[in-house]
Amino acid sequence: MRRSDGLDAAAWTAVIAMAAYRVWALLALDTITKRPRKALFTEARSDRRLYAWLKLFLKCPWCAGFWITALITIAIRRRVPAPYLVLWAAAAGTALLGGNDDRLMESDEDLGYA
C-alpha cells in the first residue's frame, strides 16, 4: 500500500463516500435538478423499461452511489492508497448515507419522477 499526500485509506474512504453521496443527492433528490429530472422522465416515459430503469437507478443510493463512487475513485486513483478497497468501502458508505435521507420518502411527483 503506498502513502498518499497526508490521507490514509480510511480518510479517503470517508471523503469519497461523502462526495459521492452529495453528487447522488444532487442528481436524485435536490430541488435544483428537479426540472432536468422531470424533462428526462417525461421523455423516457414512452419507453417503460427505460423509465423504470432510470427511476430505480437514480432513486437507489446503492445503485447510483456505487457508480458515482467508482467514477470519483478512478478519477483520483493515483492519490488514493488501496483504491479498490476504498472504492468498495466508500460505495457502501454512500449507500448508507443515502438510505438515511428522508427525502427518499417524498412522492415521485415532488421529486420530478412522475
Summarised one tens digit per residue, pLDDT across range 45-89 is: 888 888 888 888 888 888 888 899 999 988 888 888 888 888 888
Per the CB < 8 A criterion, the answer to whether 57 and 98 are in contact is no
- Name the one residue in this structure whose C-alpha cell is 415532488: 110
Summarised one tens digit per residue, pLDDT across range 24-35 is: 999 999 999 999
Nearest-10 Cα torsion for 85, 87, 88, 92: 130
Alpha helix ranges (H) inside 29-82? 34-44, 48-59, 61-75
- Distance CA(11)–CA(6), nearest Å, equals 9
On average, the pLDDT of the chain sits at 85
Residue 3: is its pLDDT beyond 70? no
